[in-house]
Amino acid sequence: MYLLILYMSATLTYDTLLFGEFEEFPETADPVWILGKEFSALTERDEILSDISSRLWFTYRKNFPPIGGTGPTSDTGWGCMLRCGQMILAEALLCRHLGRDWRWQRGQRQREEYVSILNAFIDKKDSYYSIHQIAQMGVGEGKSIGQWYGPNTVAQVLKKLSVFDSWSRMAVHVAMDNTVVIEEISECSGCLATVHAVAGLCRRKETVLWKPLVLLIPLRLGLSDINEAYMETLKHCFMFPQSLGVIGGKPNSAHYFIGFVGEELIYLDPHTTQPAVEPSDDGQVPDDTYHCQHPPCRMNIRELDPSIAVGFFCRTEEDFDEWCTRIRKVGWISRNTHNWPADILIHSVIYCFYN
């Protein structure tokens, strides 16, 4: 009985709830930040909901082709972090091909770029970033098919899969040990040679084609609970124009965090099981179920599991230069408002350096 209760708890989905039970967005004077955009909850409620519903929302699916030919036909109960990985990468692809200001409109024929992006995530073996590809690539990271992933594992898998996406031509870099090394960014995005100063840092630069950069930074912000000293800095990450959000959540329950209001994080939740979708004959995808059309979920930042991965997208080298400047500024603020050991992404990530 005890094991049964644990299993039911781990696989609870919104299939068991009424969608009308989602809490309305609060009326508050606090600014609302969504992936680098600031909104007013008092005067821009429709704009907030339009922005959130335009993000690609990937959830549990059922009745898709068996993974590996003989494996699972549903990811309910184990695929939430994989779906969050899909969401953060899909946001990068939307920025790459459509721009951050693009908005989804229900029932309209969608642009070709959008259809190509969505097809890259459809639940079948030959889609670049399908649950099939992520699950099978995860075997090389020591994860058997059907096993739950952590943020670092899914980041590593997405990095490997991006190599095969010749259409998007993005460089995915996973910064380990809390450190972004600019030389590594230069190598993966195609920038080399001469010395160049940015925001007080020495870096190398040469005029070579820059690949749009997806920067994923796995972090641990405490032992069993998030350390309060990190909270304001983490919120600042959602204010960066390069923000792709954060993947993380609660123990064994992953969410895709896209912003915050006050002390609450705003997130898309993959814990809804929906039928798998097949593209139509003309290549269009029935896409209503790929956009969250109910009020966004929220949770107090103190409930966040300390193991996360933060994402940023730099379309150009100038975007990356600006990111370096901003991260140093956040570091300066944090060093003057928190205890010195508290500066994640500041003392830890801001140490971009060359040997």
- Asked if 182 and 196 count as a contact pair (C-beta separation under 8 A), the reply is no
Q: What whole-number distance in Å separates Cα of residue 179 and Cα of residue 276?
A: 39
The span from the CA of 266 to the CA of 49, in Å, is: 12
- For the record, the structure tokens of 9 come out as 């708890």
Token duo for residue 40 = 């007013």
Size of the chain in residues:
355
Radius of gyration of the chain (CA): 20
Among 51, 80, 132, 352, the one annotated catalytic: 80
- Alpha helices by DSSP H, listed for the chain, are 2-10, 45-54, 80-97, 112-119, 131-137, 151-162, 182-189, 231-237, 317-337
Nearest to 345 by CA among 244, 222, 238, 233: 233
From the list 51, 75, 123, 269, the catalytic residue is 269
Q: What are phi and psi of 267, to 5 degrees?
A: -145, 160
How does strand 307-314 pair with strand 243-250?
A: antiparallel
Query: Hunting for tokens 């952590």 — which residue is that?
Result: 150
Write the CA distances from 161 to 51, 60, 63, 305, integer angstroms.
27, 20, 24, 26
Residue 80 is a catalytic residue = yes
Among 132, 173, 255, 271, the one annotated catalytic: 271
DSSP string, 298-333: EEEGGGS-SEEEEEEEESSHHHHHHHHHHHHHHHHH
Q: What ranges make up the beta strands (E) of 159-242? A: 171-174, 195-198, 201-204, 213-220
Catalytic-residue membership of 236: no
Q: At what angle do helices 151-162 and 80-97 cross, to 10 degrees?
A: 40
Catalytic center residues = 80, 269, 271
